[in-house]
């Protein structure tokens, strides 16, 4: 059957005389958003509480001992880093956990029976990851902003890096979810790749305070550019040019997305 001849997956209901139509990818997107929202206490509230504890502990202990930028207090410096860290980690967790759960529970076969293209899978999974990352990041910002005063020098940079970072991590989570065959493998990917690269990206410190060797090493970490560019939107100062950060994050997003699309197109570990 040619792709153009395949039936379109559509859902509709009529509340109070109105109609809501969903084609294939929007239905999958809706299902993925609903999946994390139904357990919001675990997927949204818990990360917000964790970020608040980081702020209370590190901000209280290091506020008078660490100087980052001349005009920025350490607590204020810390908030954007925690917000972006929450965005990245939760965007990754959303797509990766959804796929591994579907594979282990065996309900992934129902998606394979639909005429959804690889683009529909990609947009739905990555799109829902962006939503979760932004919801958690927005919650962290609303909670932590009460502990310090923040400026929003370049809000467009904030939006751009938040979206690009969430999309990149959602696509990376898609790859990890396709690769992993059990929860142990996914946990190893998170513990030995995602967590170290996140914590060594300048969330809690400026890389300008590091020795020259470790500054050079930090510049090979794409997570650094996501967080540094995001922080630039608040203060107008950063360790690297925001344009350089945007170029590197954009290039990483294209590479990771291309790999994810290739794996989806080939049915890697989901059609065997």
Report helix, strand or coil for 241.
coil
**Global model pTM greater than 0.85:** yes
Contact by Cβ (8 Å): 198, 89: yes
**pLDDT(212) > 80:** yes
Longest dimension (CA), the chain: 68
Structure tokens at 112: 């394979």
Q: What is the pLDDT of residues 60-106, one digit of tens each?
A: 777 766 677 777 888 889 999 999 999 999 999 999 999 999 988 88
Indicate the domain borders of the chain. Answer: 24-266
pLDDT score at 22: 61
Q: Are strands 11-13 and 20-22 parallel, antiparallel or unpaired?
A: antiparallel
Q: What is the pLDDT of residues 98-135, one digit of tens each?
A: 999 998 888 888 888 888 889 999 999 999 999 999 99
Place of tokens 């860290």: 85
Place of tokens 């969430």: 166
Q: What is the pLDDT of residues 4-15, one digit of tens each?
A: 444 444 444 444
Contact by Cβ (8 Å): 6, 115: yes
Helices 242-266 and 118-144 pack at an angle, to 10 degrees, of 140
pLDDT score at 16: 47
- Averaged confidence pLDDT in the chain: 87
* Residues 6 or more apart whose Cβ sits within 8 Å of residue 238: 228, 229, 231, 232, 245
What is the average per-residue pLDDT within 153-158? 95
- pLDDT band, very low/low/confident/very high, at 243 (cuts 50, 70, 90): very high
What is the average per-residue pLDDT within 256-261? 96
């Amino acid at each position: 059957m040619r792709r153009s001849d395949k039936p379109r997956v559509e859902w509709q209901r009529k509340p109070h005389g109105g109609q809501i139509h969903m084609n294939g990818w929007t239905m999958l997107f809706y299902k993925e958003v609903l999946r994390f929202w139904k357990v919001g206490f675990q997927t949204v509230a818990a990360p917000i509480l964790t970020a608040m504890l980081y702020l209370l502990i590190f901000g209280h202990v290091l506020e008078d001992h660490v100087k980052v930028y001349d005009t920025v207090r350490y607590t204020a410096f810390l908030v954007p880093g925690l917000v972006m860290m929450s965005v990245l980690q939760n965007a990754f967790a959303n797509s990766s956990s959804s796929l591994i759960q579907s594979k282990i529970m065996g309900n992934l076969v129902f998606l394979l029976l639909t005429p959804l293209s690889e683009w529909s899978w990609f947009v739905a999974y990555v799109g829902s990851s962006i939503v979760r990352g932004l919801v958690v990041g927005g919650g962290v910002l609303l909670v932590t902003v009460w502990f310090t005063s923040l400026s929003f020098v370049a809000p467009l940079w904030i939006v751009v890096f938040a979206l690009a970072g969430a999309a990149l991590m959602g696509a990376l989570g898609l790859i990890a979810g396709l690769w992993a065959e059990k929860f142990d493998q996914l946990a190893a990917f998170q513990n030995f790749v995602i967590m170290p690269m996140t914590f060594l990206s300048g969330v809690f410190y400026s890389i300008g305070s590091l020795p020259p060797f470790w500054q050079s090493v930090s510049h090979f970490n794409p997570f650094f550019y996501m967080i540094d560019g995001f922080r630039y939107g608040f203060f107008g100062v950063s360790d690297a040019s925001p344009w350089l950060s945007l170029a590197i994050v954009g290039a990483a997003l294209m590479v990771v997305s291309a790999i994810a699309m290739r794996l989806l197109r080939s049915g890697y570990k989901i059609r065997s």
